[in-house]
């Protein structure tokens, strides 16, 4: 390497260190970019792009263009001020060259501009240069075009020189590089999706900056995509909730900063009708998977202000407890994005923001905003507070149920769930439990089953009153508690699938509107409190027959659907037979139930998918909800079903 600089007049002993610096990067690339596999390769792109983002955040650039060509050469271009070209005081060479040849030089230039991009890995352009086969830079400034080129890990091939002129209005920086395959031994091939997703994310996180992504490779992705979100993280939230039903129209948004610490905070949030929490936090445009002070501040403030408001409007009575964060996280989608001049990252993977002053700033910016927003938007506030109240009631009911179940955890002696007709086998993988609704059906099922491996739990009483039930009310039901005991695996956050006592949980209800309601309720309940059981495929719906075709005492066949009945009618041709329509499971005797619905050789079970359960959940919410119109429509749409089966 030394040879390349001999012919340059201005080199001093300091410059030897320059080259040693880049050599160090090549010796231990992992120290600078984490890995030299795929992630490290893509890291090079972000190191360069971050500089342009900084220029845009400083208010000088509006457009950043990223291009990947057929040979995996990456080019990044912005319309900022153009990198400084004058000689650098310390190194005696141009600032541009210094930026690319001095390790950690990146942040030290340009009069203390507020550098916020990067942060976690912001090691700078020199590292990219060190790990590139070649790198070129062009600067457009004052009507002139400057050019420099480096090769083989940062050796100067062409010092910065003026190579032409351009329009005075044409300003900016352009960097192109080819990653070095001596370093990236797994290859230097970029992944479209990785680049696409991150560029889009940066566009969401930095409102108003226009990103253009050119993919020049001859594959299905070839072409140009432009990202520019004037709404920033507000649009990020609506993007994340694209497939959800919003709980209200507005997306809440606030921003603010603290002058003394230079911390900036931006928060956007929305509620949807699901139960999942999607809250993502960022510091300096970098995702912080382990959260940290910004996320803590957000959660505490949301919990505190929602509770306070609930007390004001008396949804929480003076003697009642405040909401926990768990109560307000259901259906919450939020982005918490902070900018910090000196972020400290901690945790296992350095993905947790440690600066405690961030929490204070978040508390104040977000707290002030939220208080005011609730006063100005009482309808939205009411929806949030009511949802939290429901979640809290469900949580407290679940807690009570858990305690009462836990006390009887041990199946020995009198603690055995009284209505459970258990099976003999203890081998969960072959055991089945039928949750049976219907007054006489439980009896038939008990008599008809194979008690070696089939257990039966009859459900009676009025969990059935779905129309008025809140989901947590079903914890009051004695049979439900027995069911939880029978499963043996706990529920909610404490579920332990290893302890599940049956690998088939079969819901068996009458094929009428009531039965439909009960299976909806059961699926909703299982979805909300036993989700892993559905995800692992342990939950089924029994498919009892709708019709029996018979002649005198002789059963000819069973039909499980109307279509099947039509086919059967044709098959029978001239033969005379009678049709019995089953209105409920109770009409079948034990043998019939075994033949048609219980016998593994002959029955049909429908495995419940998570989508089925989500559908049930939304039907349930709709049936429970305050909105009359969709409920009316649902009942009308299902009137055909009701007419068929309820006669
Ligand atoms: F760092 C880099 F080489 F990787 C790089 C820097 C790559 C790319 C694509 C763009 C940039 C970059 C740097 N874009 N804009 C700037 N701006 C400056 O370096 C700059 C210009 C003027 C002044 C000033 O104070 O006049 C200050 C700065 C930091």
Active site residue 15: no
Q: How far is the CA of 29 from the centre of ligand 1 (A)?
A: 24
Catalytic residue, candidates 78, 446, 510, 617: 510
Q: How far is the CA of 107 from the centre of ligand 1 (A)?
A: 10
Atom of ligand 1 nearest to the CA of 47: 4
307-330 per-position pLDDT tens digit: 999 999 999 999 999 999 999 999
Q: What are phi and psi of 320, to 5 degrees?
A: -90, 155
Tell me the three state secondary structure of residue 209.
coil
- Is the CB of residue 155 less than 8 Å from the CB of residue 4? yes
Active site residue 70: no
Least confident window among 377-381, 457-461, 528-532: 457-461
Query: CB-based contacts of 5: which residues, under 8 Å, 6+ apart?
Result: 11, 15, 19, 156
CA distance to 313, 377, 382, per residue, from 310 (Å): 5, 14, 8
Residue 431: pLDDT band (50, 70, 90) is very high
Mutate which of 43, 52, 136, 177 to test ligand 1's pocket (most atoms within 8 Å of Cβ)? 52
> In this model, does residue 373 exceed pLDDT 80?
yes
The H or E element spanning position 266 is strand 263-271
The stretch 542-568 carries a mean pLDDT of 92
Euclidean distance between CA atoms 243 and 262, whole angstroms: 37
pLDDT at position 637? 53
Least confident window among 178-182, 309-313, 611-615: 611-615
Active site residue 386: no
Question: Tokens representing 388?
Answer: 């939290």
Residue 110: pLDDT band (50, 70, 90) is very low
User: How far separated are the first and last CA of the chain, in Å rounded?
Assistant: 92
By percentage, how much of the chain surpasses pLDDT 70? 86
Q: Which domains can be identified in the chain, with CATH numbers?
A: 23-227 (3.30.565.10), 233-402 (3.30.230.10), 408-544+590-644 (3.40.50.670), 547-581 (no CATH)
Query: CB-based contacts of 34: which residues, under 8 Å, 6+ apart?
Result: 40, 43, 121
> In this model, does residue 118 exceed pLDDT 60?
no
In this structure, which residue's CA is closest to atom 16 in ligand 1? Answer: 83
Mutate which of 46, 47, 50, 51 to test ligand 1's pocket (most atoms within 8 Å of Cβ)? 51
469-520 per-position pLDDT tens digit: 677 778 888 888 899 999 999 998 889 999 999 999 999 988 777 888 888 8
pLDDT at position 369? 98
pLDDT at position 471? 75
Residue 585: pLDDT band (50, 70, 90) is confident
Higher pLDDT among residues 36 and 515, named by residue? 36
Q: How far is the CA of 55 from the centre of ligand 1 (A)?
A: 6
The H or E element spanning position 551 is strand 547-551
One DSSP character per residue, 318-368 reads: TTSPPPPHHHH-TTEEEEEEEE-SS--EESTTS-EE--THHHHHHHHHHHH
- Between helix 378-407 and helix 293-312 the angle, nearest 10°, is 100
Catalytic residue, candidates 78, 241, 514, 617: 514
Q: Among residues 44, 41, 150, 144, which one has the least CA distance to residue 97?
A: 150
Q: How far is the CA of 63 from the centre of ligand 1 (A)?
A: 14
400-427 per-position pLDDT tens digit: 888 877 665 555 545 567 889 999 999 9
Q: 99 CB less than 6 Å from ligand 1?
A: yes
In this structure, which residue's CA is closest to atom 19 in ligand 1? Answer: 83
Active site residue 514: yes
CA distance to 68, 202, 213, 228, 536, per residue, from 222 (Å): 10, 21, 10, 20, 39
pLDDT at position 409? 52
CA distance to 332, 380, 638, per residue, from 373 (Å): 17, 9, 40
pLDDT at position 18? 47
pLDDT at position 13? 45
Catalytic residue, candidates 50, 54, 296, 512: 512
156-175 per-position pLDDT tens digit: 999 999 999 999 999 999 99
């Amino acid at each position: 390497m030394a040879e390349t600089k001999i012919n340059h007049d201005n080199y001093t002993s300091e410059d030897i260190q320059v080259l040693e610096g880049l050599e160090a990067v090549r010796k231990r690339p992992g120290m600078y970019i984490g890995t030299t596999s795929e992630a490290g390769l893509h890291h090079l792109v972000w190191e360069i792009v971050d500089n342009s983002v900084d220029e845009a955040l400083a208010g000088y650039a509006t457009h950043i263009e990223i291009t990947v060509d057929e040979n995996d050469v990456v080019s990044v271009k912005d319309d900022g001020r153009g990198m400084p070209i004058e000689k650098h005081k310390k190194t005696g060479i141009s600032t541009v060259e210094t930026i690319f040849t001095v390790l950690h030089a990146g942040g030290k230039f340009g009069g203390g501009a507020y550098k916020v991009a990067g942060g976690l890995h912001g090691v700078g352009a020199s590292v990219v240069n060190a790990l590139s086969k070649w790198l070129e830079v062009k600067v457009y400034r004052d009507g002139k075009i400057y050019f420099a080129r480096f090769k083989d890990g940062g050796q100067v091939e062409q010092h910065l020189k003026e190579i032409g002129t351009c329009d005075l209005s044409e300003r900016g920086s352009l960097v192109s590089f080819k990653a070095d395959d001596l370093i990236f031994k797994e290859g230097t091939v970029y992944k479209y999706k990785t680049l696409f997703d991150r560029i889009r994310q940066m566009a969401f996180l930095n409102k108003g900056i226009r990103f253009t992504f050119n993919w020049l490779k001859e594959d299905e992705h070839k072409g140009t995509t432009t990202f520019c979100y004037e709404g920033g993280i507000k649009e990020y939230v609506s993007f994340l909730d694209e497939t959800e039903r919003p709980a209200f129209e507005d997306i809440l948004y606030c921003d603010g900063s603290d002058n003394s610490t230079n911390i900036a905070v931006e928060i956007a949030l929305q509620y949807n009708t699901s139960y999942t929490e999607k809250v993502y936090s960022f510091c300096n445009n970098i995702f912080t998977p382990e959260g940290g002070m910004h996320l803590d501040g957000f959660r505490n403030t949301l919990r505190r202000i929602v509770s306070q408001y609930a007390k004001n409007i008396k949804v929480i009575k003076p003697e009642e407890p405040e909401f926990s964060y768990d109560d307000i996280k259901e259906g919450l989608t939020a982005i918490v994005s902070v900018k910090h001049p000196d972020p400290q990252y901690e945790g296992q993977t350095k993905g947790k923001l440690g600066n405690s002053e961030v929490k204070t700033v978040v508390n104040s910016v977000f707290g002030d905003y939220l208080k005011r927003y609730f006063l100005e938007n009482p309808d939205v506030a009411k929806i949030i507070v009511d949802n939290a109240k429901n979640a809290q009631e469900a949580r407290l009911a679940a807690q009570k149920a858990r305690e009462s179940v836990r006390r009887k955890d041990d199946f020995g002696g009198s603690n055995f769930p009284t209505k459970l007709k258990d099976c003999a086998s203890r081998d969960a993988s072959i055991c089945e439990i039928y949750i049976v609704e219907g007054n006489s059906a439980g009896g038939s099922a008990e008599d008809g089953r194979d008690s070696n491996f089939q257990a039966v739990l009859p459900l009676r009483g009025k969990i059935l009153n779905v129309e008025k039930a809140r989901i947590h009310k079903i914890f009051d039901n004695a049979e439900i508690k027995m069911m939880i005991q029978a499963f043996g695996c706990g529920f909610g956050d404490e579920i332990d699938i290893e302890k599940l006592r049956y690998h088939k949980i079969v819901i068996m209800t009458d094929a009428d509107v009531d039965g439909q309601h009960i299976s909806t309720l059961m699926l909703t309940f299982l979805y909300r409190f036993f989700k892993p059981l559905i995800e692992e495929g342990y939950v089924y719906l029994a498919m009892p027959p709708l019709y029996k075709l018979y002649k005198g005492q002789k059963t000819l066949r069973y039909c499980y659907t109307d279509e099947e009945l039509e086919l059967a009618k044709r098959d029978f041709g001239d033969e005379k037979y009678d049709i019995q329509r089953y209105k409920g499971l109770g009409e079948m005797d034990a043998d019939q139930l075994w033949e048609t619905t219980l016998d593994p050789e002959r029955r049909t079970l429908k495995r419940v998918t998570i989508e089925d359960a989500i559908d049930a959940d939304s039907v349930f919410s709709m049936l429970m909800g305050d909105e009359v119109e969709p409920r009316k429509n649902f009942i009308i749409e299902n009137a055909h079903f009701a007419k068929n089966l309820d006669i």
